[in-house]
């Protein structure tokens, strides 16, 4: 059987007609199936497309031809139906056509007479199908275009960057929702408006640079201040396929936060450079005093100057390592190894590390009842917490005059362990309490003159405590002393024995 | 010989201040030294120095310049010359170093030196300012 042969159904109760039609059509290469009555023919045609054309006899026993036509038409609207009948009248022809017949062929007919309506009908069918396919495609295309448009609009409106489209007449013809958030008054602008209506000369300048470019497409990227914000304006031409410029599109990205970060970073670099250069300058000055003979060979004086050089160099080295630690924390390269540890041991060790400097000032560090307090376990990094408390106790010793008292106490409640480091030293003013955890902050007064420090110790403490999900706070009164409190989650409240963080 | 000139030196870096003081005293100047602007203002008021030498960054980024402005409100110090000595040449990428007389006037100072200061340069600058001071006084009064 030829798979590409056009299938034709013949329904006629007369074997002679069936045979004749079959022979004539098969000779032309059609694939022919024959049925002896209406129901048999309908059964052979279960769905649209089974047959392209049906020859139907009108006068058949049982189901009449008219009904067969109607049934076939219902199954397949594209089936070409040619009526064959020996009882041709105008009325039956009209009736058959009404029911969906394509042509009307009176019996008897020659093979050639049969082939004419068959060929014409099949051609009509393929044209109708083609037309339908095209119509479907077009509808699909229209749907897609509509969808693309709305998608495009949605995407542009959902962009967090502001978008402005300007035509070659310098009129703003389109702007997205985000642009309305850049400058409040833009939200009220009704398109199109002249570029000047944006009320931002630097932006108009950017637009004009793009629109004014002669041949080469010009792209402009520039920082623009708008209201309280800073924006990166990126503008380029909207070109026709031929290269003619139709206007410009400007994308405005809010870089306010980036600029703030940049400012903070550059401020930080300035501070670092000052904090590095100051001790180096002091060291150089002391050495030149010796080299240039200002000490007049006084060995004791020279030793004292050199001792100060050592001290400043040591502080500088410590500052560099503290800076490295802070940087490591910022970039996520600083890791804690948190284990179940007893704060009583941590505090004892931290206090021990400060005992020498306390002894030098005849000051006293007391761990008030710490050893007797119930176990105070936290999930912490032992080394990090020792450095936090050594820093706080060290500060307490430094900022307390000679023969001072530094007390360390330990309390716990339902969820937390609180460590207090209490001194009776010079204390701080309220405004200094608020900023003492900031980088490079140091109280500079006649009381603190000559006390060495990097201004980074409390910053590190703060960061390390934060990394332990804890809190650090200060209460202080100028002239009376300070109390630094570190609160950490008690280990019992944690599910796991230990875990890594950062 | 007339009484020696007096200099008020303000710097929160004790080591650097002592080194400068040593150089200045060797050059025959009387030096009053303070570690913070508050103490310095008290000394300025009581000693009426002929010259102010101050650090820039103390308690506050521009503490030195603020100190100079405040000192000049004190009786007899309205025209006192000031020398700024700092380890900060630039801040946030902006060059603080004055390029000419106009920049110096804008900062309210007569000279600017960057730390560390070679002793000869320090002495030369101080002597120049003290000499000019005489001129300013004569023309101003």
Note whether A281 and B116 are within 8 A (CB): yes
CB spacing of A266 vs B58 below 8 angstroms: no
User: How many other β-carbons are positioned within 10 Å of the β-carbon of residue A463?
Assistant: 20
Helical segments of B30-113, H only:
37-47, 63-71, 101-107
Between the alpha carbon of residue A121 and those of residues A49, A78, A118, the distances in Å are: 14, 10, 5
Asked if A267 reaches chain B (Cβ–Cβ under 8 Å), the answer is yes
Q: Quick check: B91 contacting A, CB < 8 Å?
A: yes
Q: In whole angstroms, what separates CA B98 from the centre of its chain?
A: 15
Tell me, what's the pLDDT at A497? 47
Quick one: average pLDDT of A380-401?
93
Bridge partners of A484?
A: A421, A474
Do the Cβ atoms of A281 and B119 come within 8 Å?
Answer: no
Nearest one of A491, A473, A490 to A482, comparing CA atoms: A473
Identify whether the C-beta of residue B9 lies closer than 8 Å to the C-beta of residue B31.
yes
Each residue's pLDDT tens digit, A167-207: 888 889 888 888 888 877 888 888 788 888 888 899 999 99
Tell me whether A449 touches chain B (CB under 8 Å).
yes
- Residue B33's nearest CA partner among B60, B57, B13 is B13
Our measurement of the distance from residue A470's CA atom to the centroid of its chain's CA atoms, rounded to an integer in Å, reads 30
Is B13 within 8 Å of A282 when comparing Cβ atoms?
Answer: yes
Q: Residue A499 contacts by C-beta under 8 Å, 6 or more apart in sequence?
A: A338, A379
pLDDT digits (tens, 9 = 90+) for A36-64: 998 999 999 888 889 999 999 988 888 88
- pLDDT beyond 60 at A375: yes
ipTM: 0.88
Looking at residue B91, its pLDDT comes to 66
Angle at CA of residue B77, ends B73 and B83, nearest 5°: 100
Contact check, Cβ <8 Å, B87/A308: no
- Is A308 in the B-facing interface, judged by CB distances under 8 Å? yes
Percent of chain A with pLDDT over 90: 43
Is the pLDDT reported for residue A325 higher than 60?
yes
Which token pair is A72?
Answer: 């076939």
Nearest Cα residue in chain B from A275: B87
A108 band by pLDDT with thresholds 50, 70 and 90: confident
Count the helix, strand and coil residues of chain B and give each as a percent rounded to the nearest 5: 45, 20, 35
3-state DSSP assignment of residue A112: helix
Contact A286, B119 (CB under 8 A): no
- Does A501 score more than 70 pLDDT? no
Nearest CA in chain A to B57: A274
* pLDDT of the residue at B135: 59
Q: Which residues pair with A11 in a beta bridge?
A: A35, A56
Best mutation target, A265, A278, A439, to test chain B (most B CBs within 10 A): A278
Residue B136 has pLDDT above 90, yes or no: no
Count CA within 13 A, CB hemisphere, residue A84: 25
User: Does residue B22 belong to the interface with chain A, where contact is any CB pair within 8 Å?
Assistant: yes
pLDDT above 50 (res A77): yes
Contact call for A446 and B22, based on CB within 8 A: no
Q: Which fold has domain B6-140?
A: Rossmann fold (3.40.50)
With 60 as the cut, is the pLDDT of residue A16 above it?
yes
Task: Read off the pLDDT of residues B88-121 as tens digits, 9 standing for 90 and up.
Answer: 777 666 677 888 888 888 889 999 999 999 999 9
- Strand locations in A264-397, DSSP E? 336-342, 364-367, 377-380
pLDDT band at B138 (very low <50, low <70, confident <90, very high): very low
Asked if A294's CB is within 8 angstroms of B26's CB, the reply is yes
- DSSP-derived secondary structure letter, B94: E
- The reply to whether omega before A418 is within 30° of 0 (cis) is no
Is the distance from CB of A226 to CB of A200 less than 8 angstroms? yes
Beta strand ranges found along A281-363 (DSSP E): 336-342
Closest-CA distance of chain A to residue B135, Å? 31
Cross-chain Cβ contact B87/A281 below 8 Å: yes
Residue A320 sits at the vertex; the CA angle it makes with A316 and A326, to the nearest 5 degrees, is 140
Element (H, E) at A25: helix A15-27
User: How would residue A212 be classed by pLDDT, with cut points 50, 70 and 90?
Assistant: confident
Mean pLDDT of A290-294: 94
Of the candidates A279, A285, A444, the beta carbon closest to that of B19 is on A285
B112: left (phi over 0), alpha (psi -120 to 50) or beta: beta
- For residue A250, name the pLDDT band (cuts at 50, 70, 90): very high
Rounded Cα distance, A282 and A288, in Å = 10
d(CA A470, CA A389): 13
Look at residue A374 in the predicted model and tell me its pLDDT.
79
> B88 in contact with A at a CB cutoff of 8 Å?
yes
In 3D, which of A417, A422, A390, A387 has the Cα closest to residue A405?
A422
Query: Cβ of A443 and B59 within 8 Å?
Result: yes
pTM listed for this prediction: 0.61
* CA–CA separation, A131 and A260 (whole Å): 63
Q: What's residue A386's pLDDT?
A: 93
CB pairs under 8 A between A and B: 79
* Spatial separation of the C-alpha atoms in residues A343 and A378, rounded to whole Å: 7
Token reading at A389: 């408390």
How far is it, in rounded angstroms, from Cα A89 to Cα A95?
A: 10
Residue corresponding to tokens 């920082």: A223
Chain B positions touching A277 (Cβ under 8 A) are: 87-88, 115
Lowest mean pLDDT among A149-163, A180-194, B33-47: A180-194
Please provide the distance, in angstroms rounded to a whole number, between the alpha carbons at the two ends of chain B: 24
In order of their start, the domains of chain A are 7-132 (3.40.50.2300), 159-254 (3.30.450.20), 259-330 (1.10.287.130), 336-501 (3.30.565.10)
Q: What is the end-to-end Cα distance of chain A in Å, rounded?
A: 75
Q: Indicate the burial class of A163 (C-beta count within 10 angstroms; 0-12, 13-18, 19 or more).
A: middle
Provide the 8-state DSSP code for A183: S
pLDDT band at A120 (very low <50, low <70, confident <90, very high): very high
CB contact under 8 Å between B19 and A288, yes or no, is yes
How many Å is the maximal CA-CA distance in chain B?
48
Kindly identify which residue of chain A lies nearest to residue B25, measuring between CA atoms.
Answer: A294
pLDDT for position B92? 60
Continuous segment of H or E residues that includes residue A459: helix A457-467
**pLDDT tens-digit profile of A425-482?**
999 999 889 889 988 887 877 777 667 777 888 999 999 999 999 999 999 999 999 9
Q: Does A435 touch chain B (CB under 8 A)?
A: no
From CA A163, how far away is CA A180, in angstroms rounded?
A: 10
Q: How does DSSP classify residue B115?
A: S
Q: Is the pLDDT of residue A408 over 90?
A: yes
Average pLDDT, chain A: 87
User: Is the distance from CB of A235 to CB of A224 less than 8 angstroms?
Assistant: no
**HEC string for A265-294:** HHHHHHHHHHHHHHHHHHHHHHHHHHHCCC
Which residues does B86 contact at the CB level (< 8 Å), separation at least 6?
A: B55, B56, B57, B64, B96, B112, B113, B114, B115
């Amino acid at each position: 059987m030829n798979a590409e042969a056009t299938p034709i159904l013949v329904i006629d109760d007369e074997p002679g007609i069936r045979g004749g039609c079959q022979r004539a059509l098969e000779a032309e290469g059609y694939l022919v199936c024959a049925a002896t009555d209406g129901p048999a023919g309908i059964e052979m045609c279960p769905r649209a497309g089974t047959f392209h054309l049906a020859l139907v006899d009108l006068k058949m026993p049982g189901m009449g031809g008219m009904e067969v036509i109607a049934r076939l038409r219902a199954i397949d609207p594209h089936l070409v139906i040619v009526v064959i009948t020996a009882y041709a009248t105008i009325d039956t022809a009209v009736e058959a056509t009404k029911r969906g017949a394509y042509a009307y062929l009176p019996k008897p007919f020659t093979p050639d007479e049969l082939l004419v309506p068959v060929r014409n009908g099949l051609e009509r069918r393929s044209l109708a199908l083609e037309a339908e396919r095209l119509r479907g495609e077009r509808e699909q295309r229209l749907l897609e275009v509509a969808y693309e448009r709305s998608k495009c609009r949605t995407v542009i409106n959902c962009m967090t960057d502001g978008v402005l489209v300007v035509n070659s007449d310098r009129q703003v013809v389109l702007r997205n929702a985000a642009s309305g958030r850049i400058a409040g008054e833009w939200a009220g602008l009704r398109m199109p408006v002249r570029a000047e209506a944006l009320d931002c000369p630097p932006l108009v300048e950017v637009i004009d640079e793009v629109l004014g470019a002669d041949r080469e497409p010009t792209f402009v990227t520039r920082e623009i201040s708008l209201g309280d914000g800073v924006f990166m304006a990126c503008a380029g031409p909207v070109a026709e396929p031929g290269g003619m410029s139709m206007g410009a599109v400007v994308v405005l990205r809010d870089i306010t936060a980036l600029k703030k970060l940049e400012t903070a970073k550059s401020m930080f670099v300035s501070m670092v450079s000052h904090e590095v250069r100051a001790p180096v300058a002091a060291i150089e000055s002391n050495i030149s005093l010796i080299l240039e003979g200002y000490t007049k060979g006084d060995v004791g004086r020279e030793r004292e100057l050199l001792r100060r050089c050592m001290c400043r160099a040591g502080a500088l080295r410590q500052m560099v390592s503290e800076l490295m630690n802070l940087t490591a924390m910022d970039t996520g390269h600083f890791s804690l190894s948190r284990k179940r540890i007893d704060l009583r041991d941590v505090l004892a060790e931290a206090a021990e590390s400060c005992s020498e400097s306390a002894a030098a000032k005849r000051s006293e560090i007391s761990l008030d009842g710490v050893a007797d307090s119930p176990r105070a376990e936290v999930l912490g990094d032992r080394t990090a917490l020792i450095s936090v408390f050594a820093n706080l106790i060290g500060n307490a010793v430094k900022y307390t005059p000679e023969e001072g008292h530094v007390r360390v106490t330990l309390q716990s409640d339902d969820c937390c362990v609180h460590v207090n480091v209490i001194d009776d030293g010079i204390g701080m003013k309220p405004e200094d309490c608020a900023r003492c955890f900031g980088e490079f902050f140091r109280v500079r007064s006649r009381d603190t003159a000559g006390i060495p420090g990097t201004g980074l110790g409390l910053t590190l403490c703060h960061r390390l405590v934060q990394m332990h999900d804890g809190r650090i706070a200060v209460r202080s009164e100028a002239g009376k002393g300070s109390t630094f409190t570190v609160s950490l989650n008690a280990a019992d409240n944690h599910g796991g024995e230990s875990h890594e963080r950062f | 010989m007339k009484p020696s000139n007096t200099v008020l030196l303000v710097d929160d870096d004790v080591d650097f201040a002592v080194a400068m003081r040593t150089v200045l005293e060797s050059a025959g100047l009387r030096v009053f030294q303070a570690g913070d602007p508050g103490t310095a203002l008290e000394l300025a008021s009581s000693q009426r120095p002929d010259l102010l030498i101050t650090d820039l960054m103390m308690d506050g980024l521009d503490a030195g310049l603020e100190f100079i402005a405040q000192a000049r409100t004190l009786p007899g110090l309205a025209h006192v010359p000031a020398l700024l000595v700092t380890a900060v040449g630039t801040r946030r990428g902006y060059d603080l170093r004055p390029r000419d007389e106009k920049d110096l006037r804008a900062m309210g100072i007569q000279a600017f030196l960057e730390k560390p200061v070679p002793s000869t340069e320090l002495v030369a600058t101080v002597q120049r300012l003290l000499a000019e001071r005489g001129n300013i006084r004569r023309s101003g009064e």
